[in-house]
């Protein structure tokens, strides 16, 4: 467990909240979302800087939703050579980038600014006529990126889905297959709007540093349920706990 240089940051962790975690899963907790965003942004900055130093470049994939907005804002203030960082999304809804539900719009608004304006951003949404055609084009984009990703930041839904790997979608088995050679896949969740393109479990699981970012007691309860059920078909997030994973959580 790591602590922040911020003297006001108090680590929030009770043994009985995390004793169900395997030894290869690290838990980081703070008493506020704001302090968590600062701590996690510094952690990501360290990992990207390390890769730039060792390889000359770095790669990161981030998730959408409301939870990462504060993280994106803090990350945009980090000092590093962003021109050597490749950025893409973990998943995206198949809709125009100007749509309010677009993850691309979220990233452009809250992350690509301040220090990060020189970052190399590779959106998922393209000019293809359909999500299936778009998936083929994005697969080609992924071939050009530094893989495996140095950092992937995941979120989690109240049903235990992560990325756009929903328990209700018929593509789940293929998407979660560790031997699937596809780097991305089209998913059509029954309980959520829009077709999506998502990184596959195989691509996600190969990341050098895999991070789960979540806030609130309801998310913690969902995660605890996933760890109780131990069934990735019912709650896909569980599959990511069977390998090294860093969890960042605040109340």
Average pLDDT over the chain, rounded to an integer: 93
Structure confidence at residue 17 (pLDDT): 56
Question: What percentage of the chain exceeds 70 in pLDDT?
Answer: 93
Domains in the chain, start-ordered, CATH in brackets? 27-250 (3.40.50.1360)
Mean pLDDT of 49-76: 97
The pLDDT tens digits of the residues spanning 112-135 come to: 999 999 999 999 999 999 999 999
What is the pTM (predicted TM-score) of this model? Answer: 0.93
Strands 196-199 and 91-93: antiparallel
Q: With a cut of 70, say whether residue 7 has pLDDT above it.
A: no
Question: What percentage of the chain exceeds 90 in pLDDT?
Answer: 92
DSSP three-state, residue 198: strand
The pLDDT tens digits of the residues spanning 177-229 come to: 999 999 999 999 999 999 999 999 999 999 999 999 999 999 999 999 999 99
Measured distance CA(215)–CA(220) in Å, rounded: 8
Mean pLDDT of 170-177: 98
CA-based R_g, the chain, Å: 17
The pLDDT tens digits of the residues spanning 240-249 come to: 999 999 999 9
Structure confidence at residue 15 (pLDDT): 34
Structure confidence at residue 20 (pLDDT): 86
Residue partners of 153: CB distance under 8 A and separation at least 6: 40, 44, 60, 61, 62, 63, 68, 71, 90, 211, 213
Structure confidence at residue 44 (pLDDT): 98
Measured distance CA(44)–CA(61) in Å, rounded: 11
Measured distance CA(185)–CA(104) in Å, rounded: 17
Check whether the bond before 148 is cis (ω within 30° of 0).
yes
Order of all β-strands in the sheet with 25-29 = 25-29, 245-250, 210-215, 151-154, 58-62, 85-89, 120-122
Measured distance CA(114)–CA(77) in Å, rounded: 6
Burial class for 130, CB neighbours closer than 10 Å (0-12, 13-18, 19+): exposed
Q: With a cut of 50, say whether residue 10 has pLDDT above it.
A: no
Mean pLDDT of 35-52: 98
């Amino acid at each position: 467990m790591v602590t922040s240089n911020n003297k006001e940051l108090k680590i929030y962790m009770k043994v009985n909240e995390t004793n169900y975690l395997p030894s290869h899963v690290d838990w980081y907790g703070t008493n506020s979302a704001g302090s968590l965003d600062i701590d996690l942004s510094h952690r990501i900055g360290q990992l990207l800087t390390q890769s730039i130093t060792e390889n000359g470049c770095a790669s990161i994939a981030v998730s959408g939703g409301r939870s990462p907005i504060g993280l994106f804002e803090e990350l945009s203030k980090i000092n590093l050579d962003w021109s050597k960082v490749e950025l893409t999304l973990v998943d995206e809804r198949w809709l125009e980038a100007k749509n309010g539900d677009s993850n691309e719009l979220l990233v452009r608004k809250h992350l690509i600014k301040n220090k990060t304006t020189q970052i190399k951003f590779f959106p998922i949404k393209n000019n293809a006529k359909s999500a299936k055609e778009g998936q083929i084009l994005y697969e080609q984009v992924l071939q050009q990126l530094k893989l495996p990703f140095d950092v992937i930041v995941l979120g989690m839904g109240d049903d235990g889905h992560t990325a756009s790997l929903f328990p209700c979608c018929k593509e789940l088995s293929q998407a979660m297959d560790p031997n699937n050679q596809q780097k991305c896949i089209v998913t059509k969740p029954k309980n959520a709007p829009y077709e999506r393109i998502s990184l596959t479990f195989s691509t996600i699981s190969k990341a050098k540093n895999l991070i789960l970012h979540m806030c609130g007691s309801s998310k913690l309860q969902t995660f605890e349920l996933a760890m109780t059920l131990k069934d990735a078909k019912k709650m896909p997030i569980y599959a990511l706990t069977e390998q090294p994973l860093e969890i960042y959580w605040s109340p």
